[in-house]
Amino acid sequence: MPGSEPPHTDQRAAHRAEVGWDVDCETEDTFLFASITNISEMGIFVRTNEPMPVGTIVTLRFAPRPPDTPFTMKGRVQWLNRLSAFGENLNPGMGIMFIDLSRDERERLVSAIRTIAYLRGDPTVLNSN
């Protein structure tokens, strides 16, 4: 299916930070509790053996640390990394692009990502715009 597999080259517009956060992904008729393995100001990768179809609009809820105010955002499934029947794919899941973020939401998200980068000493994220 075109557009359902991850790109062969890294075409990301923003640097990603590796994380291990819980996320709730919800549609009108589906609820998925999964993990975010990386995040950028543009989107997230959600690790799951049962990804939602490409194009699905989801409500995402996650928090960098439990005392932090959770993020609640809309996203669209952009691509899938399907589970292989023979276990060859060790990172199944879906890439989700954030949609309809307000300026305040994006600034808060960028601040959280830069905090992660600062704590981990990742200059590629710290120096990104």
Report the C-alpha gap between 47 and 50 in whole angstroms. Answer: 9
Per-residue DSSP letter, 67: T
Residues of the chain with pLDDT under 70: 1-14, 66, 85, 87-89, 119-129
pLDDT score at 65:
73
pLDDT score at 127:
53
pLDDT score at 58:
98
Q: What are phi and psi of 50, to 5 degrees?
A: -130, 70
User: Whole-number mean pLDDT of the chain?
Assistant: 82
pLDDT score at 9:
45
**Domains of the chain listed by start with CATH number:** 17-117 (2.40.10.220)
24 is written with which tokens?
A: 């709730």
Beta strands in 1-129 (DSSP E): 17-26, 31-39, 43-47, 57-62, 71-81, 93-99
Report the C-alpha gap between 44 and 36 in whole angstroms. Answer: 7
pLDDT score at 1:
43
